[in-house]
Chain A
């Protein structure tokens, strides 16, 4: 366990990438999903991707964040290090590991 990152998991949380207002249009939402998925796939197999958006009642919280589940913790680590500090829509991307059980429960914070 790395003290600076907390416990490593297979779920990556990306912060400071999207604003809730950018997620309301369906076309733009699809574009954003594609952009993120394609880039994450460079670091490992993406099992699933969740981008909570305003008005989606099946997901609790996490609006403005992006959650990516990789097949392995190692791939997630690679993505965490590689994507952190990159720019997305002109904003600096921040990364963090996210608890797998919370992700499965769709409990996003």
Chain B
């Protein structure tokens, strides 16, 4: 039975829910309860803007979402070292890079809809884009 299978795996992995009702995350000026009266385009635009703020906050605070439970992480890639022997592709570096890429995609999306959109102050468009 597939439900038993799901329950079995469940015990090995903690719930994806974080925090409690008393411990929530707020982004100033961006409510998390949306009016059901927004049309799909308005809702999408708000969601993208919210996600840009959310990622910016993670990058700023260094709260990159690195899980503390090693079993929940995917296998680490082969290490890459600089000429002076420092590891370049550290976990922190990889998480940060991924968030920056996600944020870049969201900003491109936002600018396509609204050319007036102002990206966050700490955002720099990637210098080289390899397609």
Contacts and interface: CB of A to CB of B under 8 A. Distances in A.
Contacts, number: 97
Given A85-B26, A87-B18, A97 B13 contact: no
B25 A87 contact: yes
A79 B81 CA distance: 48
A96 B21 contact: no
Interface string B1-34: 0110111011001011111110011110001111
Interface residues of B, number: 34
A91 B54 contact: yes
Main secondary structure, interface of A, reads mixed
Of B20, B33, B40, chain A has the most CB atoms within 10 Å of the CB of B33
A72 interface: no
A9 B35 CA distance: 12
Contacts of B10: 31, 34
Interface string B67-102: 000000000000000000000000000000000000
26 contacts: A4-B35, A5-B36, A7-B36, A13-B36, A15-B34, A27-B6, A27-B9, A30-B6, A38-B15, A39-B15, A80-B33, A84-B33, A85-B26, A86-B18, A86-B19, A86-B21, A87-B18, A87-B19, A88-B17, A91-B54, A92-B25, A92-B27, A92-B50, A94-B50, A95-B33, A109-B43
